[in-house]
Amino acid sequence: MSFITCENVSFSYENTSVIKNLNFSVNQGDYLCIVGENGSGKSTLIKGILGLKSPADGKITRGDGLKPNETGYLPQQTPAQKDFPASVYEVVLSGRLNSRGLKPFYSKKDKQIAIDNIKRLKIEHLLKRSYRDLSGGQQQRVLLARALCASKKILLLDEPVTGLDPIVTEDMYKLIEELNKNEHITVIMVSHDIKSSVRYATHILHLDGDRTFFGTTDEYIKSPIGKYFFSEDTQNV
């Protein structure tokens, strides 16, 4: 059974449709990249999957035992968030908030999970550093560790490499690929980088109005919309 299923889903803002009659599913172990032009509804769809925005029509369902609080989310950062005055450990540990329920304090288990994910992403040397003093790439690793504290099953990543230099970008892509392939974590990633999307993802969802595409990466490359946008993206590299 699929982790996430969207059936005839539509989203709108102020009576203007952003996404119409969208159908796709995400199974365990998939690496889905959501691509498309600005304003095509990529971030809106992520909000729908997270339960932060309800569809105007259709439904989004969870399956295979996936609970609402078992989704790790790495959002786009605002300038204020990048300047957050907390330690790396505190930021990563905050990923356990949804799992804490009504308990007023973090448990020993919560703290151990935070330490385990800090080690997992090889940022132990940053443990006591202030988050605001880190580089962009270091901050993204911290936020990814935080997202992993919230879920062992699925990660939703909204433009996780925006603003990073090419070397750090490639490092982040490889890290996400490793989590998907070696640790079998399902990944849904919003990206504007079509070239890298077809390189790493198993599936592509391209939002483009009436020409929306969903399928495997190989199917996307061979499709009319994939041929057009992928070739255009390659020419601009």
Q: Measured in whole angstroms, how far is the alpha carbon of residue 170 from the centre of its chain?
A: 16
What is the chain's pLDDT, residue by residue, as a tens digit (237 residues)?
A: 689 999 999 998 777 888 999 999 999 999 999 998 888 889 889 999 998 889 999 999 988 778 777 789 998 887 777 888 899 999 999 999 877 665 778 899 999 999 999 999 999 999 999 999 999 999 999 999 999 999 888 999 999 998 889 999 999 999 999 999 999 999 999 998 888 889 999 999 999 877 899 999 999 999 998 888 776 655 544
At 211 the pLDDT is: 82
Find, among 43, 45, 2, the residue nearest to 20 by Cα: 45
At 203 the pLDDT is: 97
Q: DSSP secondary structure string, 147-182?
A: HHHH-SSEEEEESTTTT--HHHHHHHHHHHHHHHHH
Residue type, 154: I
Flag whether the pTM goes above 0.85. yes
At 105 the pLDDT is: 84
Q: What is the SS3 assignment for 11-45?
A: EEECCEEEEEEEEEEECCCCEEEEEECCCCCHHHH
At 237 the pLDDT is: 41
Q: 110-129 b/e with 16+ CB inside 10 Å = b?
A: beebbbebbeebebeebeee
Query: E-strand spans in the chain?
Result: 4-13, 16-26, 31-36, 57-62, 71-74, 154-158, 186-190, 203-207, 213-216
At 16 the pLDDT is: 80
Find, among 137, 160, 143, the residue nearest to 31 by Cα: 160
Find, among 35, 76, 3, 29, the residue nearest to 212 by Cα: 35
Contact between 72 and 92 (Cβ < 8 Å)? no
